[in-house]
Amino acid sequence: MHKRLSQFIYIVPLLFLVLFFFYPLYSIFALSLAPEGILDLRPLRVLISESYYARVLWFTVWQATVSTLLTLLLGLPAAFVFARYEFRGKSLLRALTTIPFVLPTMVVATAFTSLLGARGRLGGWLMAIFNLSASPIDIQHTIWLILLAHVFYNVTIIVRIVGGFWANLDPRQADAARVLGAGRWQVFREITLPLLGPAIVAAALLVYLFCFTSFGVILVLGGPRFATLEVEIYRQAVHLFHLPLAAALGIVQMVFTFVIMAFYTRLQARLAVPIEFRPQRATHRRPTRWRDRFLVAACLGGMLLLLLSPLAALAERSFSLGGRYDLHYYRELFVNRTQSIFFVPPAEAIRNSLIFGAATVALALVVGTISAYLLAPSQRRGRADIGRHRAFLDPLFMLPLGTSAVTLGFGYIIALDEPPLNLRTSPLLVPLAHTLVAFPFVVRTLLPVLRGMNPHLREAAAVMGASPLRVVREIDLPILFRALLVGAVFAFTVSMGEFGATVLIARPQFPTMPVAIFRFLGQPGLLNYGQALAMSTLLMAVCAAGFLLIERFRIGDVGEF
C-alpha cells in the first residue's frame, strides 16, 4: 500500500509538467512549425545560415556568465554574514534585499535611470560637489548597466540559498581544523567550501538561468544594441509576427538551457556529501571583535548601497515627481478620471497579487517538495527504478526557467481552451503559470539539504518501527523546515513580480500589481508615470511585509532541529 501511494505521489510533478508545460509548448510549436500538419524546418535553417543569430547566442552566454560571477562575488560574503552573525535588524535587512527580485523591469529601469542616468541623483550630486558642467555618470544603454541590474536582481538568490544552507553547517569541523593549526583561508578552502559546493552550484544555476533568459533588463536598460535569445523571441513573435522563427529560437533556447542544467545538476549531485546540520542558535554569534564588526559593516554596507539606493531613489521620486513632496500620485490611484473599464483600485490589485501569491506558494511547495524527494538519493523501496533516470529528471524540472514566457503564454492561449483543460478564462491559470517558474526554486533550495542529510537517521527511525510518514514528519521536516521557508519566500516573490506570462493570460478584471504598473507606464503623461511609481512603491511595501511574515513563521522548534 505504501509503495503504491509513494509511486502515485511521485507522478504528481511529472503530470503537472506534462499538462501545464509540455502540452502548451507542443501546441505552439506544432502551430508554428507544422501549420498544415507537415513539419517545416526552414526556420531552423535560417538560424544556422544567418550569423546574426550566432552573435545573439554568444552574447546571451557570455553576459549570463559574467553576471553570475559578479553576483557570486557580492553575494557570498553577504551570505556568510547572514549565516554566521546575529545582529539587530537582521530579518528586516534580509527582507529588504529580496525586494529587487520582485520588481518589474520597467520600474527598475526608472530607478536606475533616476539614480545613474545623465540627469540622475548621483550625477547631480557630483556636479554640485565638483562644480562640473555635465554629469560624469551616464551608463544608460551600456553593458555595465545590464550587468549591474542582473546583480541587483539576483544577489538575493545567493544570500537566501547559500546563506540558509551555511547557517546550519556544523562549525565543529572548522574549529577542529583551526586547533590543528589551519589558517582561516585554508579552513574555508578545504572544509567549508567543499561542504557549501551543492548550495553554491544550485544558487549559481538559478542566477545563470535568469541572466541567460533575461528579457526586460536587456530590452529596457540595454537598448536596441543588445539582444538575448529571449529578447529576439519577443521581437520575432510580437513585433514582426513571425511565429515560426520565434518558435525555432524557443527550441534553441530550451535545448541550450537543458544542456547547461544537465551539467550543473550532475556537478551538484557529485559535490553532495553527508553533512551534520546544527541549529542556528549553535552557529550564530554576535560580532564582538572589531574585525567581525568591520566585516559585517562592509558586507552589509556594500550590498545595501547597491540594492537599496535604486529603491530609495524610486520611492523618493514617487513622492517628489512634479517638483514637490506630497501624496498626490498615491491619492490618484483611487480615482478613475478616464472612466476606463479596466480601472482597478490599488486595494484590489494588491488583493489579487496576494491571493495568487498564496496559491503559488501552496502549489510550488507541494510540487517542488515531491520533486526534490524524487531527485534526492534514497534507499527506500519503490524508488530504485528512479535512480537511473535522475540525471535526466533533474534538468527536466528546471526547463520552465529556461523557456520563453512569451512562447509559453501563447501556448496557454492556444492549448488550454477545450475541456477538460478549458482554463483560458479561469483565474486559476495565473497561479498555475506562476508555479511553473516558482517550483524549481523550491527544488534547488531543498536538494542540497536532502542530499546532505545523514541517511542513518532515517534508517534508525525505520528500524525502530516508524512509518514513512512519521519519518518525514519527525526526521525530515525539522531539518528541511528552514529550506522550505526559503522556498516559500522565492515562490511568493516570483508570483508577486511575474509579468511576462501574466500579462497574456490574466483576465482584465483580475490584474496583479505588475500588470497595473504596466498599464500606467503604457499611457502617456506625468500623471500615469507618477501612479506607476506610487504603485511600484506599494508593491515594495507589500512584498517586504510578506517576506517578514514568512521569515517569522515558526511551528515550535521546527527548523531549529
pLDDT(64) > 90: yes
The candidate with the shortest Cα–Cα distance to 203, out of 479, 445, 551, 458, is 445
Residue 229 contacts residue 47 (beta carbons within 8 Å): no
Q: How many C-beta neighbours within 10 Å does residue 261 have?
A: 22
**Among 269-278, 279-288, 364-373, which stretch is predicted with the lowest mean pLDDT?**
269-278
Stated as kind and residue range, the H or E segment containing 115 is helix 105-116
Which residue would you say has higher pLDDT here, 292 or 75? 75
pLDDT(106) > 90: no
Q: How confident is the model at residue 272 (pLDDT cuts 50, 70, 90)?
A: low
Segment 99-114 shows an average pLDDT of: 71
Segment 495-504 shows an average pLDDT of: 77
Distance CA 497, CA 153 (A): 11
Per-domain boundaries in the chain? 2-551
Q: For the chain, what is the largest distance between any 2 Cα atoms, rounded to a whole number of angstroms?
A: 79
Looking at residue 336, its pLDDT comes to 74
Q: How confident is the model at residue 557 (pLDDT cuts 50, 70, 90)?
A: very low
Helix (H, G, I), strand (E, B) or coil at 437: helix
**Among 124-133, 137-146, 387-396, 437-446, which stretch is predicted with the lowest mean pLDDT?**
387-396
The C-alpha cell at 376 is 534526492
Distance CA 324, CA 466 (A): 67
Segment 9-37 shows an average pLDDT of: 84
Q: Is the pTM of this model over 0.85?
A: no
Segment 338-350 shows an average pLDDT of: 72
Looking at residue 509, its pLDDT comes to 76
30-45: per-residue pLDDT in tens? 877 777 777 777 887 8
Looking at residue 187, its pLDDT comes to 76
Q: How confident is the model at residue 73 (pLDDT cuts 50, 70, 90)?
A: very high
Distances (CA, A) of 210 to 113, 137, 205, 353: 22, 27, 9, 22
The residue with cell 517538495 is: 369
Quick one: fold of 2-551? Answer: MetI-like fold (1.10.3720)
